[in-house]
Structure 1
Amino acid sequence: MSNKTILVTGSAGMIGCYLVKDLIAKGCTVVGVDRRVSDWTHEHLKQVVLDLADKNALEALLDAEKVDRCIHLAALAHAGGGETDFSFERFKFLNVTCAENVFEACVSHNVSVLFISTVDAIGMVKGLINSGTELNPISNYGKSKAMAEGRLKEICPKWNIYRFSPVYTATQKRDIEKRYYLKYPNWAYKIGNGGKFEVLEMSGAVKAMVDWVDKEVDNTIHIIKNPELLDINNLIKVEKAEGRAKHVLYFPEWMVIAGFYCINLMFGKSNTTYLVFKALWPFRTV
């Protein structure tokens, strides 16, 4: 059991709501910061509605609460959360500028930071990938997270970075469905013989963060993923058995590779080329 007080940003979000419960089960007290209040309450959870753009409010919060560690989850991802602006400027403001405010407040109160990043920060990189692989992000999300990683290293003396593979639950699979659905729930697809992908089930993501609370903070980067790869062939079989994936389109690998190089010639490194790249050459991390 742990008796630490943990600041969690994005505490009412998809991952945050699971994290808060498991931290409390571990014996922690949680100060949860979000733009809204979660429906779940507990005597060891203090929920604070706070705009991370407000530096003074962050400083005041850490003045009032004796926080031992911070897990910075809050971010703009690909969709959801009531956001309609997905410009790079918006990603940069929420994922970099607001993150800087959190980092600076933690430094002034001697609080170690676990920053939750993404494998999208790696970008279009072939071959085996490790935590030291040079980043080549393409998406606005990946670019902003890579920038925030850099700022964390510059600002904070004590930190860790966890780059999450796409996270899913039994009922929330939006981040992995694009790897086998053209249009959910009826139109699935396979490239060649079907691919295998690195993903991260919610329980694994939460366990990694909860375990960090009692680990040495050693200024290292870790890629967090399931032990086993997601097999598209097996997954589509399950989807069909449950009444989905009624139509499965099969694309020869050579055709998709040719299409990728044509798109790359026309548009260069873009979100479209990046999506096709990931389908053809999935991440393999060590």
Structure 2
Amino acid sequence: MSYKTLDTSKTYLVTGAAGFIGYYLSKKLLERGCKVIGIDNINDYYDVKLKYDRLEKLKPFEKFVFVKGDISDKALIMDLFEKHKPNIVINLAAQAGVRYSIENPDVYIQSNIVGFFNILEACRHNSVDHLVYASSSSVYGSNKKVPFEESDFVDNPVSLYAATKKSNELMAHTYSHLYKIPATGLRFFTVYGPMGRPDMAYFGFTNKYFEGEPIKIFNNGDFEHDLYRDFTYVDDIVEGIERLLNNPSVETVPHKVFNIGNNSPEKLMTFIGALEKALSNATKKEVSFNKVFEPLKPGDVPSTYASTDLLYEAIGFKPSTSIEEGLQKFADWYVSYYGIN
């Protein structure tokens, strides 16, 4: 397995640097001694305090430069590239969330389409070594064939969020074809961990428990056909990204797409049980959620399951953190961060 390790002499631009994955990736690159330019609009889609707390942890690094701004502002992005001349661009800025896209479609077009277009244009006019960008497992829609492989048909998205991510892959391919921009899209599968996104189910369940409220589970209470999810711990995601950064595609059209998932789907109810156990350990008392079962929501997909063969072939890595280990780290952080007990 031969792949180039991280080049610490290069300048890395991380969009969405105050976000969950953006923060962890920036931190890892800075710890390795890289120069990191971070940009984030710090929107209020979820608690901005969490975003500022992440940024606070990046501040001590001398090689970190933060710009508060929106990737949908083309002039700002062009100036940023002109001034800082990034060698490698990691676009993690996006409006996330499947259900939110049904009520607020405008922000998805602004951030995920217009914003990504601006990043592509900036890469076109400022020679970059590699553009790595976030796609999503949601592009697979309600694909029945498992595990999901990168070569699967993905033209039936079931949410606007998924449609914007599929669009990103098409746009990146076009720019790679026309302007030879080396680009790599990453289809993330349900990323979780400490300092994660409060809109994600595991975080929401934990909030509800400590607020004394029941949790809603969208599977009709159908345990026979329970939802499966490929839950991927954030450190595994960051490791995969880091290994890919200096290994752009060398094909005629230098664009590639990889799944990054745990390759080991868990029943949603198994995951919830593991979360209860992790919180019980963290609080030193028995934690049991009050569960209410509801029908699947529009845009939700029944199951996700990543094939990680292509990723392994390229960089010799596949995620491996168990949900027990990952959720325990989340629970310990949550109890400490929110001052439980």
Shorter-chain-normalised TM-score: which range?
0.7 to 0.9
Contact 1:188 1:236 in 2 (8 A): no
Question: Residue 84 of structure 1: CA displacement?
Answer: 10
| Number of the residue aligned with 1:106 | 123
Aligned to 1:133: 152
Aligned to 1:263: none
Provide the aligned C-alpha RMSD in A.
Answer: 3.1
| Percent of aligned positions that are identical | 21
Higher share of residues assigned strand: 1
Letter in 2 for 1:237: G
Q: TM-score, normalised by structure 1?
A: 0.79
Specify the alignment match of 2:171 in structure 1: 151
Q: Does 1:221 pair with 2:238? A: no
Alpha-carbon distance in structure 1 between the residues aligned to 2:144 and 2:86: 40
* Preserved contact between residue 263 and residue 306 of structure 2 (Cα < 8 Å): no
Partner SS for 2:20? coil
The answer to whether the 8 Å contact 1:166/1:176 transfers is: no
The CA deviation at 1:184 is 3.9
Pairing 1:1-286 to 2, within 5 Å after superposition: 2-36=8-42, 38-39=55-56, 40-41=58-59, 42-78=61-97, 86-111=103-128, 112-128=130-146, 129-135=148-154, 136-156=156-176, 157=180, 158-170=182-194, 172=196, 174-177=199-202, 184-185=208-209, 186-187=214-215, 191-193=222-224, 194-218=226-250, 219-241=255-277, 242=280, 243-248=286-291, 272-275=297-300, 278-279=301-302, 282-286=303-307
> Could you say what secondary structure the match of 1:160 adopts?
strand
Supply the AA of the counterpart residue of 1:20: S
Shift of the alpha carbon at 1:246? 3.5
Q: Distance in 2 between matches of 1:187 and 1:57?
A: 42
Instruction: Give the C-alpha shift of residue 139 in structure 1.
Output: 1.3
Unmatched 5+ stretches in structure 1 = 261-271
Counterpart CA distance in 1 for 2:70 and 2:227 is 41
1:264 corresponds to? none
Tell which has more relative contact order, 1 or 2 (C-alpha 8 A, sep 6+).
2
Q: Structure 1 residues 63 and 283 mapped into 2: Cα distance closer, same or farther (>3 Å)?
A: same
Deviation at 1:211, TM superposition (A): 1.4
> 1:86 deviation in Å?
4.3
Q: Is the 8 A contact 1:167 1:176 kept in 2?
A: no
Shift of 1:96: 0.5
Give the whole-Å Cα distance in 1 for the aligned partners of 2:195 and 2:69: 29
Query: Using a 3 Å threshold, how does the CA distance of structure 1 residues 210 and 191 change in structure 2: closer, same or farther?
Result: same
- Runs of 4+ displaced beyond 6 Å: none
Sort the Cα spacing of 1:188 and 1:235 in 2 relative to 1 into closer, same or farther, 3 A: farther
Q: Evaluate the alpha carbon distance shift between residue 234 and residue 87 of structure 1 in structure 2; reply closer, same or farther with a 3 A threshold.
A: closer
Asked if structure 2 preserves the Cα contact closer than 8 Å seen for 1:239 and 1:245, the reply is: no
